[in-house]
Amino acid sequence: MGRMTTKYLREKGVDVVAAYVRTTEGKDFSAPELQGVRICRPDEPFEPFGADIALMTHCSRLADLFEPAAKAARAGLDVLTIAEDAFEPFYIDSETARARELDAIFRANGRTLASVGVQDTFWFAQPLSFLASVQRLDRIIGRNICDLSAFGSAGQHAGQMGLTADEFHAQGHGAVSDHRGIFEVALRPLCRALGLAVLSTKVTNEPVLAEADMPVARLGRTIRKGTTCGMMERVVFELQGGVVAEGQFIMRFLPEGEGAFNEWVVEGLPGMNMRTDNFHGDVITCASLVNRVRDVMDAEPGFLSVDQLRAPRYQPALARRN
Ligand SMILES: NC(=O)c1ccc[n+]([C@@H]2O[C@H](COP(=O)([O-])OP(=O)(O)OC[C@H]3O[C@@H](n4cnc5c(N)ncnc54)[C@H](OP(=O)(O)O)[C@@H]3O)[C@@H](O)[C@H]2O)c1
């Protein structure tokens, strides 16, 4: 994500002065988008570059974001990240103290921290504008299908494939993690923007079963019909006024010819859906991040949620202000 983001920034006229990388060994830094960019180790200071903003694409969790983000704020930089757990600064769990401390550090330094990405454009702005055409909302379901074949070997969950539903649960794959779920975090700014308080939350991990025998090249074997070709993390929010909001994050191997997609289904008046095929998650993530640079630089100080920023939009170009 870091490399693609650097390329997109430069294409929009941003002066990228430095790229911070954890390991340099065995990596090729000869790509055109890295020419003129100083390659730095994480412990090098930010101050010498006189930059406006740091984009952080290295992590998902607040524990990993905390130190570089705090360092950036103290060096006078805004921070924009794709760390999934930072999408909802007001989430109450074991990470809350860390989030509050980040908020205090950013406020004290007059800088802004926000997390964007697919969550911002596809799971917040898109359903929010879609719902503006609805007279009565009973239930909204967000469904995102990721193709496991596109993941690296560590992300393929090979050990969880080819199991019956009973085997999936017996082996403990249905157990819910004690960590923030992806939609569990991502749907909260949407619920808040709709003005509907969350009354209860239920998270489940469910097997996704193959509809037919499915040869999977990345696994080097065939997944049999009726056995697992993926899993779904489902979150169901019961909201004020009897409204239900549901998120289905589905990671699966797809049958030949099918691709990843994102869909919103609305039950109410009217009942309707909005589906995006050809869902290029990597491009979408980096483009969403780059298009938000100006909004974060213009925002109030603190650790903010996207519902505290202006509505996201396409930015044809980004120029340095000073
Ligand atoms: N919000 C969204 O829409 C969204 C979408 C996609 C991905 N993500 C998240 O974004 C993160 C990056 O995804 P990815 O696919 O690019 O992962 P990746 O291929 O594993 O890349 C992460 C990179 O960050 C480097 N890194 C780790 N800690 C670092 C540090 N302290 N300082 C500098 N560099 C550091 C790693 O270095 P090494 O080479 O040393 O390991 C690696 O090169 C993941 O956590 C992912 O879950 C979010």
Return the closest-CA partner of residue 113 out of 81, 68, 71, 67: 81
Quick check: CB of 118 below 6 Å from ligand 1? yes
Q: How far is the CA of 155 from the centre of ligand 1 (A)?
A: 13
Q: How far is the CA of 83 from the centre of ligand 1 (A)?
A: 9
From 25, 34, 46, 59, mutation site for ligand 1 pocket: most ligand atoms within 8 A of C-beta: 59
Relative to the CA of 152, which ligand 1 atom is closest? 19
Q: Which residue has its alpha carbon closest to ligand 1 atom 5?
A: 285
- Decide if 76 is inside a domain: yes
Q: What is the pLDDT at residue 320?
A: 62
Return the closest-CA partner of residue 221 out of 275, 168, 161, 180: 161
- The answer on 134 and 112 residing in a single domain is no
Residue 322 has pLDDT above 70, yes or no: no
CB 308 within 8 A of CB 124: no
Residues 106, 120: Cα–Cα separation, whole Å: 21
Domain interval for residue 13: 2-116+292-308
- Decide if 154 is inside a domain: yes
CB 190 within 8 A of CB 244: no
- The answer on 135 and 274 residing in a single domain is yes
Q: Which residue has its alpha carbon closest to ligand 1 atom 13?
A: 1
Return the closest-CA partner of residue 3 out of 280, 320, 282: 282
- Decide if 72 is inside a domain: yes
- Decide if 55 is inside a domain: yes
Relative to the CA of 68, which ligand 1 atom is closest? 31
Q: How far is the CA of 57 from the centre of ligand 1 (A)?
A: 5
* Cβ-based neighbour number of residue 301 at 10 Å: 16
- The answer on 259 and 148 residing in a single domain is yes
- The answer on 248 and 126 residing in a single domain is yes
Q: How far is the CA of 141 from the centre of ligand 1 (A)?
A: 28
Q: What is the pLDDT at residue 157?
A: 85
CB 231 within 8 A of CB 207: yes
Q: What is the pLDDT of residues 232-278, one digit of tens each?
A: 999 999 999 999 999 999 999 999 999 999 999 999 999 999 999 99
Quick check: CB of 1 below 6 Å from ligand 1? yes
Relative to the CA of 115, which ligand 1 atom is closest? 1
- Decide if 317 is inside a domain: no
Q: How far is the CA of 281 from the centre of ligand 1 (A)?
A: 14
- The answer on 74 and 155 residing in a single domain is no
**Torsion 85-90-91-95 (CA) sign:** positive
Q: How far is the CA of 19 from the centre of ligand 1 (A)?
A: 13
- Decide if 315 is inside a domain: no
**C-alpha R_g of the chain:** 21
CB 183 within 8 A of CB 191: no
Tokens (6 digits) for 77: 């930089």
- The answer on 239 and 128 residing in a single domain is yes
Predicted confidence band at 150 (pLDDT cuts at 50, 70, 90)?
Answer: confident
From 22, 71, 233, 306, mutation site for ligand 1 pocket: most ligand atoms within 8 A of C-beta: 22
Mean per-residue pLDDT of the chain: 95
Q: What is the DSSP letter of 311?
A: P
- DSSP lists the bridge partners of residue 142 as 247, 264
- The answer on 301 and 213 residing in a single domain is no
Q: How far is the CA of 183 from the centre of ligand 1 (A)?
A: 19
Q: Which residue has its alpha carbon closest to ligand 1 atom 8?
A: 82
Residues 15, 156: Cα–Cα separation, whole Å: 37
- How many residues appear in the chain? 322
Look at residue 62 and give its three-state secondary structure.
helix
Q: Which residue has its alpha carbon closest to ligand 1 atom 44?
A: 59
CB 55 within 8 A of CB 293: yes
Q: What is the pLDDT of residues 286-304, one digit of tens each?
A: 999 999 999 999 999 999 9
Q: What is the pLDDT of residues 70-117, one digit of tens each?
A: 999 999 999 999 999 999 999 888 899 999 999 999 999 999 999 999
- The answer on 22 and 107 residing in a single domain is yes
Residues 158, 137: Cα–Cα separation, whole Å: 39
Predicted confidence band at 59 (pLDDT cuts at 50, 70, 90)?
Answer: very high
- Decide if 74 is inside a domain: yes
Quick check: CB of 5 below 6 Å from ligand 1? no
Tokens (6 digits) for 246: 């549901």
Residue 131 has pLDDT above 90, yes or no: yes
Quick check: CB of 144 below 6 Å from ligand 1? no
Residue 156 has pLDDT above 80, yes or no: no
Quick check: CB of 106 below 6 Å from ligand 1? no
- The answer on 135 and 99 residing in a single domain is no
Quick check: CB of 22 below 6 Å from ligand 1? yes
- The answer on 153 and 69 residing in a single domain is no
Q: What is the count of structural domains for the chain?
A: 2
Residues 205, 226: Cα–Cα separation, whole Å: 17
What pairing do the DSSP bridges indicate for beta strands 198-209 and 228-239?
A: antiparallel
Q: What is the pLDDT at residue 180?
A: 85
Look at residue 110 and give its three-state secondary structure.
coil
- The answer on 105 and 232 residing in a single domain is no
Predicted confidence band at 307 (pLDDT cuts at 50, 70, 90)?
Answer: very high
Quick check: CB of 42 below 6 Å from ligand 1? yes
- The answer on 241 and 214 residing in a single domain is yes
Residues 244, 268: Cα–Cα separation, whole Å: 11
- Decide if 178 is inside a domain: yes
